[in-house]
Each structure stands twice: as C-alpha cells, then as structure tokens.
Amino acid sequence: MGDASIPTIDLSPFFKGDEDGKKKAMEVIIKAFSEYGFFQIVNHGVPLDLMKKAIEQSKVFFNFSDEEKKKSSPSPDSPLPAGYTRQAVQCRDNNEFFLAFPPASNFNIFPQNLPRFREAFEELFVQMSKLGVLLENIVNESLGLPTNFLKEFNDDRNWDFMVTLRYFPANPNDDNGLLEHEDANPVTFVIQDEVGGLQVRKNGEWIPVVPAEGTIVVNLGDIIQVMSNKKFKSATHKVVSAEGRDRYSYAFFHNLRGDRWIEPLPQFTTDIGEAPKYRGFFFKDYQELRVQNKINPPSRREDVIHITHYEIDN
C-alpha cells in the first residue's frame, strides 16, 4: 500500500517572506509534482467565509427548477460555453455545472434572480486568479526556470475560467461522477464540499482527497508535464459520486492561450542531453481533440485522446 493521503502544504511562508518555511514547503511541493502532481494547500489567501459562501450559493442555484436554470444557458451563437449546462462531461451519468470566464468577460450569463451567486462567484474568481499566478511562480521556481519565465509565457489571464458543479448521487447501475482523466491546462484548483469523492492515482492506487475545511486542492496539468519533459507529472484523477448525497465543488483553471506552441523546454532536453518525450503542438489543437472526445465520445475508453497522443517513442 502507498501513502493513504496527499500532502497538505502551508503557503503562509510565501506571503510572509519566511525563507526557511518556504524551503521546507518547496521540498514537499517538488516531491508531489514529481510523483503525481497533486496536493492540498492551506493559508493560501482565499478567505474561508468566501469559500463557504460560494458553495452555499452554488447549492441555491442548482436547486432551482430546471426551467429556471436553463434561463442561464449559453447562447447558441456564443463562441464560449459560459453559463449553465447539464450534460455528460467525461462521465456516463449526467451532472450539471455553471461556467464563467473573468468577471469583465462579455460571455458570462448569470441568473438575474440570484445576485448573491454572481457576487460570490466573481469574488472567488478574483481570489483564485491571484492564487493561480502564485502557484505558477512556485512551479517556475520548482523547475529551476528563469525568474518569471512561465508568467511571461502565459501572460493572458482572459482565458482562465471557473466552474461550479453538482454531482448527483451514485447510481448503482452506472459509472458516476467524473471518469479518470488529466487536465490539459497548466494548474487547476478545486474547492470541494464535505461530501468529497475526489481521488488521485499514485503508483496505480487511487487515493481519496479527503475534504478539510479551508483547504484547496492543487493539481498540475498536461502542459507542465510536456514543458518539463515529464519531470513534473500531470495528475490523473476522478470523482466518485456518493450514495444518497449531491456533491458540490468549484474548479478554477489557470489556463493558456490557444495559440501558444507547446514542447519540452531545452532546459530539460538539449541542455542536459535528454531526448524530448513529446513532439510540439499548438495548445488549441490539443484542446480541439479533447472537445471532440466530449462531443463524440469514443466507444472504447482506451481511444480517448490524452497527452500520450503527442508522445515520441524513443
């Protein structure tokens, strides 16, 4: 048996300038990034009251009638799917979610009769965006990259997005929750309610990410795995629905512009005499392949597109 839990890391040294505390935290972070790309954080700067308020407002919204929720559905001619959707998303049993982009975006469609939901959502979005920049800097330092390398590479925050989800109770006759997958973007954050259900795979074993008040889950995505030439791992994870209980959560995606060219960096290939493990690609092309998987799911799970699509056989 492997570890029974994922590490929880105190981020306060990064705010206080505590170099000794920061050094100790970085050791744990690098180990987690190298082994499975997952950990939880505390003292992250996002107010606990705001996290609670956002979850509560999510529950209020999702418990509206279907007719009322559909008033916040994306417009058919919108280039981005902001708003309410109920459909299968990497799962066989339908769940529902509400997605929005930065507060200044013209694509967002919030319910008119629930201003507190919008207030909580947008306030949380701002806080999570700040956290995304901090974690990207931590990834940058963990990889030993030049100062602000990733920040300058990924300098457009207009592509970040956040989603709140409701997972319906487990159905014994079907797969429930969210099937195992990796995220494509650089860094993802998850706030989950007390129901839990999130699991991460490490060394072939599924480890539950046990909810704890005030914690936020961090996981790396495919972009960091490719750029680091597999030095850091993209976390394989899934959600298992609970029996008799809905599950509510928020996921924030610190994202990347689609026109960015992605390939293993020379610091992890030519500079150290290592062969690249991936061929280069535009991020938008990889995104399109993943979207097609969702629109037209392959009949066999092994045919779903992963980052292995770009792997090089050395």
> What count of other Cβ atoms lies within 10 Å of the Cβ of residue 305?
15
Kindly state whether residue 130 falls inside one of the protein's structural domains. yes
- Residue 70 CA to its chain's centroid (Å): 25
Terminal CA-CA length for the chain = 32
The residue-averaged pLDDT of 128-146 equals 96
pLDDT confidence tier of residue 241, bands split at 50, 70 and 90: confident
> What count of other Cβ atoms lies within 10 Å of the Cβ of residue 59?
14
pLDDT for 305 equals 77
Distance of alpha carbon 26 from alpha carbon 19, whole angstroms: 10
pLDDT confidence tier of residue 198, bands split at 50, 70 and 90: very high
Distance of alpha carbon 86 from alpha carbon 188, whole angstroms: 22
- Is the Cβ–Cβ distance between 222 and 187 less than 8 Å? no
- Is the Cβ–Cβ distance between 300 and 255 less than 8 Å? no
Domain that holds residue 202: 8-310
The region of weakest confidence among 119-123, 245-249, 250-254, 293-297 is: 293-297
pLDDT for 94 equals 60
pLDDT for 176 equals 56
Task: Write phi, then psi, for 9 (nearest 5 degrees).
Answer: -115, 130
The residue-averaged pLDDT of 154-181 equals 81
Give the per-residue SS3 of the chain: CCCCCCCEEECHHHHHCCHHHHHHHHHHHHHHHHHCCEEEEECCCCCHHHHHHHHHHHHHHHCCCHHHHHHHCCCCCCCCCCEEEEECCCCCCCEEEEEECCCCCCCCCCCCCCHHHHHHHHHHHHHHHHHHHHHHHHHHHHCCCCCCHHHHHCCCHHHCEEEEEEECCCCCCCCCCEEEECCCCCEEEEEECCCCCEEEEECCEEEECCCCCCCEEEEECHHHHHHCCCCCCCCCEEECCCCCCCEEEEEEEECCCCCCEECCCHHHCHHHCCCCCECCEEHHHHHHHHHHHHHCCCCCHHHCCCHHHHECCC
The residue-averaged pLDDT of 81-91 equals 72
- Is the Cβ–Cβ distance between 106 and 39 less than 8 Å? no
pLDDT(177) > 60: no
pLDDT confidence tier of residue 57, bands split at 50, 70 and 90: very high
pLDDT(267) > 60: yes
pLDDT confidence tier of residue 92, bands split at 50, 70 and 90: very low
169 Cβ contact partners less than 8 Å away, ≥ 6 residues apart: 176, 241, 242, 243, 244, 245, 246
pLDDT confidence tier of residue 95, bands split at 50, 70 and 90: confident
Residue where the block lists tokens 């300038």: 17
Tokens of 106: 């013209």
- Is the Cβ–Cβ distance between 85 and 99 less than 8 Å? yes
Q: Give the predicted TM-score (pTM) of the model.
A: 0.92
**CATH number of the domain to which 149 belongs:** 2.60.120.330
> What count of other Cβ atoms lies within 10 Å of the Cβ of residue 281?
17
pLDDT for 302 equals 66
Q: Which tens digit of pLDDT belongs to each residue from 270-285?
A: 999 999 999 999 999 9
pLDDT for 203 equals 84
Kindly state whether residue 1 falls inside one of the protein's structural domains. no
When comparing pLDDT for 223 and 93, which is higher?
223
Q: Which tens digit of pLDDT belongs to each residue from 3-15?
A: 467 999 999 999 9
The residue-averaged pLDDT of 88-108 equals 77
pLDDT(145) > 70: yes
Beta bridge partners of 216: 41
Kindly state whether residue 3 falls inside one of the protein's structural domains. no
Kindly state whether residue 207 falls inside one of the protein's structural domains. yes
Average pLDDT, the chain: 89
pLDDT(140) > 80: yes
Distance of alpha carbon 118 from alpha carbon 72, whole angstroms: 12
Distance of alpha carbon 93 from alpha carbon 192, whole angstroms: 19
pLDDT(1) > 50: no
Read off the amino acid at residue 26: M
How many structural domains is the chain composed of?
A: 1
* Positive or negative torsion for Cα 135, 137, 138, 139: positive
